A and B are shown apart, each in its own frame.
Chain A
Amino acid sequence: MTGLAELFQSQLVQTVLIGAALLGVVSGVLGSFAVLRRQSLMGDTLSHAALPGVCLGFLLAGGRDLGSILAGAFLTGALAALAVVLITRTTRLKTDAALGIALSVFFALGVVLLTLVQARGGAGQMGLSTFLFGQAAAILRSDLWVMAGVTAAALALVAAFWKEFKLVSFDPDFARVQGLPVLVLEIALTVMVAMAIVVGLQMVGVVLMVAMLIAPAAAARQWVRSLGAMVLLSAAFGAFSGMAGALISAQARGLATGPVVVLVASALVLLSLLLAPGRGLIWQALRARHDAQRLRGERVLLTLHGLGAAHGDPAYPSEAGMIDAFHGVTSRRALARLQARGLVRAVRHPPEETPHWELTDSGRDAARAALRRTGGDVEGRAR
């Protein structure tokens, strides 16, 4: 415990945690829009395309100067985005193919440049390879100002143009018909994503940065009913995975931060996919089972009712085997559930020894109600 307390007091750890939280918030917020606009692949391309820019910035500045590195990253990212637009405009290739091409070409270029830089040796090269998979510990206190600035700017823009961004994400054609400058708004969203990627590069790395955009948003989508809630929850998920990942990787020497952050975020996605009320798989499975049980019970009820009607005796005690035969499967559990709800009761019907069941008064009411609901289709009820 004292270890943990000390850990939090260390300047380095504080810096890392604040940086991770800022990155998580900004990528969680912007990632929500990217995911809803189906722009995830664009995020991936932008982040991979940042690598050659990182190397160029390093080469030109002659060392690890964050300003020039980020400027370089932003520049090559923008070039990649431009390449995608040009490819889709001038050829018949679809957007996903164009994105894939831009991603691989720019990333390949980045890897070649990275090798060149490392071959030249020098103290600075260490800092550079962390841009591949991220190293939270490499963050400096002064870097926090850049991250905080980008985060604040992005949040302010999203708040100011909230309804416009929402409409552009949901229905861009309708936005244009209403006179909104859709192209400008879309470019603004993409540029903000690029900014978030650039500030996240050091911490998470170009290879996995896109997961910081997608995973928190995808997890958040499972739980919410409005865009506002999605953006808030996604920011919280992003901050949590960023901080948890940074802490864990700071504990284990040499463990890159990016993969740990991504694993934490993916765990959140998995949990959300399984558990979220309404949309989660487990929740849906439970509901489906519940529905199936209710339906089965209703059919057994109707069978008893129908047999009673056929014998001119609403309380006619039906033999359990007969009900089973009618349904083709054993109805013992369905009958037990109906009994628990007080709709049927077990009776003896001498001289026969086998179990018999009859409807209670409330069972008869329930059966009639069900009949009315299904349109009084007495004969076609069970198959």
Chain B
Amino acid sequence: MPQGAGTDGLHEPQFALHVEDLTVSYHTNPVLWDIDLDIPPGVLAAVVGPNGAGKSTLIKAALGLVRPVAGHVRYFGQGYAAARRRIGYVPQRSSVDWDFPTDALDVVTMGLYGKLGWFRRPGRAARARALAALADVGMQDYAARQISQLSGGQQQRVFIARALVQDADIYFLDEPLAGVDATTERTIMALLRRLRDAGKTVIVVHHDLSTVRRYFDWLVMLNVRIIAQGPVSEVYTAENLRRTYGGQVALIEDLPPAPGAEGPTAEGGQDGPR
């Protein structure tokens, strides 16, 4: 961690997310190796890579949930603690016990606990905001439903609503489309596009390569190291896919048209995609 640089001094403020030299290891195996990553504000970005590539770990390290052995992370130039209020998080759905005795509205309200502060209970205003967020994800009719009685796609939408009430500037979503049906997928993607159009930065761990070009405008390809990053149109190439996924790339139908000038667009934080 470069201490100082002025506690107030911003480091790389032009990026919504700036990651430098990040290395994470569980026990002794490095799971992320020397990650340099820059994501400009206002993009809808996908993070792709094979199972075990470290996608979830990258998000957790960025959020301070796992401690990196090296490197630093900045949000809009600020350190994590200073930027915390500007960050929204949708964890993998399987990360909690859905048999917890509570209802959908209560879970969404949890997104406001940090802002409420100590000793204050969520009141009517908090309730109204949570209801509005549920309506944003099309779940207003399920507010009083026990979370154990929601389907997988509905649970996912409750989690997204909980992140929406955080009213963040940058959102991390870990596989929000895993196990949801086509209708829910459309609802979620429309919502994420709206967030992006409102100037938010949205970073999504994504597993379905066939929809990358349709859904996203920024792409990070990860396999322990960063393979490539940049606007989807430049980065989504057969060569990069092969380098990320190895031989499995044959399985992907939506291969980009044969790249004329390939140049494996690596490590390029081309600013301002839009």
Contacts and interface: CB of A to CB of B under 8 A. Distances in A.
Interface of A: 36, 38, 92, 160-164, 166-167, 169-171, 173-180, 221, 224-227, 229-230
A174 B113 CA distance: 10
Given A171-B91, A177-B65, A177-B89, A36 B114 contact: no
Contacts of A179: 81, 84, 114
A160 B121 CA distance: 10
B122 interface: yes
A36 B60 CA distance: 23
Interface residues of B, number: 31
B97 A170 contact: yes
Interface string B10-44: 00000000000000000100000000000000000
A177 B103 contact: no
A224 B95 CA distance: 23
Give the dominant DSSP class at A's interface. helix
A164 B100 CA distance: 15
Closest 4 CB pairs of A and B: A178-B114, A177-B89, A171-B96, A170-B100
Given A171-B110, A179-B84, A226 B95 contact: no
Contacts, number: 76
Q: A163, A164, A225, A227: which has the most chain B beta carbons within 10 Å?
A: A163
26 contacts: A38-B97, A163-B113, A163-B122, A164-B113, A166-B102, A167-B110, A169-B100, A170-B97, A170-B100, A170-B102, A173-B63, A174-B91, A174-B162, A176-B64, A176-B65, A177-B65, A177-B87, A178-B166, A179-B114, A221-B101, A224-B101, A225-B146, A226-B102, A226-B103, A226-B106, A227-B101
A164 B96 CA distance: 16
Given A163-B122, A174-B89, A180 B113 contact: yes
Contacts of B107: 170
Nearest to B87: A177
B69 interface: no
A13 B23 CA distance: 64
Given A163-B122, A167-B110, A171-B95, A36 B100 contact: yes
A27 to B, nearest CB: 18
A166 B107 CA distance: 10
Given A167-B110, A175-B113, A177-B65, 13 more contacts: A162-B121, A164-B113, A164-B118, A170-B96, A170-B107, A171-B96, A171-B110, A177-B63, A177-B87, A178-B114, A179-B84, A179-B114, A226-B102
B102 A173 contact: no
Contacts of B63: 173, 176-177
A178 B162 CA distance: 12
Contact of A170 (B64, B110, B111, B121): B110
Nearest to B144: A225
A166 B146 CA distance: 16
Contacts of B114: 177-180
B119 A160 contact: yes
B101 A230 contact: yes
A291 to B, nearest CB: 15
Given A174-B89, A176-B65, A177-B63, A167 B101 contact: no
A376 B27 CA distance: 58
Contacts of B166: 178
A175 B65 CA distance: 10
Contacts of B110: 163, 166-167, 170-171, 174
Q: B89, B91, B101: which has the most chain A beta carbons within 10 Å?
A: B101
B101 A225 contact: yes
B159 to A, nearest CB: 9
B116 interface: yes
A173 B64 contact: no
A54 to B, nearest CB: 34
Contacts of B102: 166, 170, 225-227
Given A163-B113, A178-B114, A179-B84, A173 B65 contact: yes
A229 B102 CA distance: 10
A281 to B, nearest CB: 16
A224 B110 CA distance: 19
Nearest to B116: A163
Contact of B84 (A161, A173, A174, A177): A177
A163 B101 contact: no
Contacts of A225: 101-103, 146
A160 B118 CA distance: 8
Interface in B82-130: 84, 87, 89, 91, 95-97, 100-103, 106-107, 110-111, 113-114, 116, 118-119, 121-122
Interface in B111-155: 111, 113-114, 116, 118-119, 121-122, 146
Nearest to A178: B114
A146 to B, nearest CB: 28
